[in-house]
A and B are shown apart, each in its own frame.
Chain A
C-alpha cells in the first residue's frame, strides 16, 4: 500500500506543488533565490529526461506485443512481423547514423553532401506514408460535410452559411464571387476575416477558458490526491 499508493501520492503532491510555488518566488531573493532557481531549472530538465525514457518504454511494449502475436500466429501476424522489421531497420539506421558508424555518417546529409541511408528512408518511405494517411482527411472531410451540413434547424442553418462564407472566402473563389462589383473582390474575404477574428475567436476563447479551468480543477484533484485514476486504483 505504501509503495503503490502513499508514496506516489506524496510524490505527486510535492512535485506538483514545487512549480506552482516557485513560479511566484523570486530567483533574486536572499537565501531562497538559489533554491528557487535550482528547482525551476532541475525540475524542467528532469521532465526532458523522463520524456526520453518514455520512448524506450514504448519500444519495449511494441516488441513484446508483436513477438507474442507472431509466436501464437494470431490473425494478422505477418503485419506484426513487418512492424518489427521496420522498427529494427529504421531504428538501427537511425542509431548508427547518429553515432556515425561506418557508412552511416549522420542523420541528414553525408559528408559528401549526398543523402544518408537514414535520410533516404525517411524521405522516400516514412514521409510519403505519413502524407498519404494525412491526405485521407481531405476525403473524409468532404463526406462528413456532405452528411452533416443539412438545414435541420436555425443553428444548423447558421453553421451552414458561415461554413460557405469561410470556404469561399479562404480561396480565390471569394474574390471572384463578387469581383464583378466595384471593390467586390474584398467583401467575402473581409467577412471571412470578421467571422474568424470575432465570433470564432470569441467561441474559441470561451472553450479554452472553460477547458483550462477544468484542467486546473483536475490538476488540483491530482495534486491533493483526490483523483487517483492515473495510479490505476481508487483505493483510499
Chain B
C-alpha cells in the first residue's frame, strides 16, 4: 500500500519542488557555463557576415507570455546588429503584445547606442494585422503594409525606408516567434522571395523547425531559453565589452535563466527516476506475490 501512495504522489509536492528549483537559482545564481550549437552558430555567423550596407528585418512575432524566452534573443540580436552597423527594420505581426514587446526592446537597447538615428540606422514600422497577407504584400512594397511607421511618419519621409522598398533590399529576416508565424516566414517569404530567414522560437516550437533548418528554408534557429543563452554567449565571446551589460545584477538574461532551467530539468529527471523505481518495486512485489500464491 505504501508503494502505491509513492507512485501516486500528490502533484503539489512536485509543484513545490519545481517552485523552489526555479526560484533559488534566480536569487542565488550558480553561473553554469553555456556552449553553442550549430543552429545558433549558423545565425551568428550570418549576422557576422553582414555590415553597414546590409539590412536585417526583425519581426516581433511574440507576446508577453514568451517574453522570458524571446526577449533575450531580440536584445542579443539587436545588440549584435547595431554593433556591426547593420541597418534594422523592426515590425510586429503578433496581435497580442507584439508591438509593445518591440517597443520595450528598442527602448532598452537603443540608449546603449546614442550615435544611432531612428529613420537612418533603424526604423520601427509598428504592428500589422493579418500576418500572412502582410508578409506577401511586403514582397511587393513595405509601404503597402506600413504606410506610416509606429510614430506616424510616412514611409516616404524615412531615409532608411526610401532604400528598403521590399524583400529584395533585405539581406536577412529574423523572426522571434511564439507560434506558426515563423513557419509562414519560411513557407511564404523564403520559398517565394528567396530572402534568408532565421527563427528565434520557443522551446516548445523549436523541434518542429529542425526540419526547416535541414531543408535550408531556415538558415538559423534559436530554440528557447537555451538558444537565447547560446547567442548571448557567442555575442559576449566575440564582443567582450558586452560582458558588463550581461553581468549586471538584477538584470534578467538567458544565461542566468539557464541556471533555473538546469535545476528544473534535474528535478523532473529525479522525479521520473523515482516514479519508475517505485513502479519496478511494485511490479516485483506483485510478481513475487503471484508466485507465492501459485
Contacts and interface: CB of A to CB of B under 8 A. Distances in A.
B9 to A, nearest CB: 7
B65 interface: yes
A151 B9 CA distance: 17
A204 B129 contact: no
Contact count band on B? 35 or more
Interface stretch (B44-52, B157-165, B239-247, B265-273): B265-273
Contacts of B150: 108
Contacts, number: 152
Contact of A160 (B19, B264, B272): B272
Contact of A149 (B19, B100, B276): B276
A103 to B, nearest CB: 18
B132 interface: yes
Contacts of A185: 35
Interface in A91-149: 106-109, 119, 122-123, 126-127, 130-131, 133-134, 138-139, 141-143, 145-147, 149
A100 B270 CA distance: 55
Interface of B: 9, 11, 14-15, 17-19, 22, 32-35, 37-38, 63-68, 97, 99-100, 103-104, 107, 128-130, 132-134, 136-137, 140, 144, 150-151, 207-208, 210-211, 213-214, 226, 258, 261-262, 264-269, 271-272, 274-276, 279-280
Closest 10 CB pairs of A and B: A48-B130, A108-B103, A127-B64, A172-B32, A44-B133, A134-B65, A171-B262, A201-B210, A143-B11, A130-B64
Given A134-B65, A147-B275, A167-B268, 18 more contacts: A41-B137, A44-B130, A52-B129, A52-B130, A55-B129, A107-B100, A108-B99, A108-B103, A133-B65, A141-B268, A146-B271, A149-B272, A150-B279, A164-B269, A171-B261, A171-B265, A172-B32, A173-B265
